[in-house]
Amino acid sequence: MRSASGLNFANKGLIFANNQYCLSGIFVLSNFKTKKMEITNNTILITGGSSGIGLQFATQLINLGNTVIITGRNQAKLDEIKKQLPKVHIFKSDVSDPLAIIELFKKVTMQFSTLNILINNAGEMRNLNLLDTSITVENVNREIAINLSGPVWMVQQFLPHLLKQKTAAIVNVTSALAYVPFALSPVYSATKSGLHAYTQGLRIRLKKTSIKVFELLAPLTNTPLGDKFAGDFDSKMMMEPDKVVAIAIKGLMKDKFEILPGMSIMLKLISRIAPKFILKQMGKVAEKSWANEKL
Ligand SMILES: NC(=O)c1ccc[n+]([C@@H]2O[C@H](COP(=O)([O-])OP(=O)(O)OC[C@H]3O[C@@H](n4cnc5c(N)ncnc54)[C@H](OP(=O)(O)O)[C@@H]3O)[C@@H](O)[C@H]2O)c1
């Protein structure tokens, strides 16, 4: 006959074993959730990969052993990139067109069922003078369709596919201008601020899924996007796109969800500590540019 204390001991043993089992289960689960992104052997779609930051992402990610697909509106530009980077896959597609996004989704997922990372990079920045009354209502918000609606539509379209992947990520490319607007590009600044807010919301929404949500808040970078602003900024302030992207990839590997290369971190800090000051300084840059204009 077993003694009461013997039973107690056996029970305690079972409870201990159970706890051990649960703990190891939790450990395995948390290990799965906290596992850092591996930036190799992924299938990655980059919007706007034919130039600047997107092209650098494509080049560096291919070199790290990933399958990379890029989009852009200009077929000739895409063909040229294919010659330079034979491993890249190209698709002509406009992110500001929801029907084109549906088409892209069908083609890409049919050919690349392992697609697990989406980089929303395509963007346009105009020097937009709001006092120019010849700008049409359709035209004034073009950047909203490309820089804000585009990524939101892309996420909505690709989300069901990404949710099925064991590990997945969405990377939205915004700007340091998400923190402080630049009056030469008021609509652009609003789109980056909007995409920043959307990305933060999306990250919370997808917290319990296998999709990690990153944001690259890029600083002033030496790409064709900034050509219209030559002279407005000291070129020494510009970062080269290969550096920006190298920092971004390091950030992805470390699960750094908000990546702030170069001056972006400074702009974030100043916008928190002295918001009026930095708004005024950025305003002065725009005013200097307008000084010779007849309004
Ligand atoms: N350069 C900077 O100083 C800076 C700073 C902060 C943030 N960013 C952001 O970084 C991202 C990349 O900019 P970048 O400087 O690398 O510019 P970029 O060199 O001008 O490249 C833009 C890319 O986007 C594509 N694109 C533009 N509109 C598109 C559309 N509607 N649909 C599909 N593709 C489109 C372009 O190709 P097609 O013209 O052939 O379509 C090109 O491949 C943008 O989101 C930008 O806002 C840039």
DSSP sequence for 34-81: HPPPP-SS-EEEETT-SSHHHHHHHHHHHHTT-EEEEEES-HHHHHHH
If one counts the domains in the chain, the total is 1
Give yes or no for residue 73 CB within 6 A of ligand 1. yes
Amino acid at 75: Q
Give yes or no for residue 67 CB within 6 A of ligand 1. no
Residue 29 included in any domain: no
Residue 19 included in any domain: no
Residue 185 included in any domain: yes
Residue 135 included in any domain: yes
Nearest CA to ligand 1 atom 44: 123
Number of Cβ within 10 Å of residue 100's Cβ equals 18
| Among 91, 124, 177, 260, residue to substitute to test ligand 1 (most atoms within 8 Å of Cβ) | 124
Q: What is the CATH number of the domain that holds 68?
A: 3.40.50.720
Q: Are 172 and 195 in contact (CB under 8 A)?
A: yes
Residue 274 included in any domain: yes
The CA 13 to ligand 1 mean position distance, Å, reads 62
**pTM of the complete model beyond 0.85:** yes
**Degrees, nearest 5: CA angle 131-222-135:** 20
DSSP code per residue over 193-215: HHHHHHHHHHHHHTTTSSEEEEE
Report residue 2 as tokens: 């077993």
Residue 26 included in any domain: no
In sequence order, the β-bridge partners of residue 151 are: none
Q: Are 268 and 217 in contact (CB under 8 A)?
A: yes
Ligand 1 atom closest to residue 145's alpha carbon, by position in its atom list: 31
Amino acid at 45: L
Residue 12 included in any domain: no
pLDDT in single tens digits along all 295 residues of the chain = 344 444 444 444 444 444 444 444 444 444 444 688 999 999 999 999 999 999 999 999 999 999 999 999 999 999 999 999 999 999 999 999 999 999 999 999 999 999 999 999 999 999 998 998 999 998 999 999 999 999 999 999 999 999 999 999 999 999 999 999 999 999 999 999 999 999 999 999 999 999 999 999 999 999 999 888 877 888 888 999 999 999 999 999 999 999 999 999 999 999 999 999 999 999 999 999 888 665 5
Residue 1 included in any domain: no
Residues marked active site are found at: 188
Domain around 162: 35-290
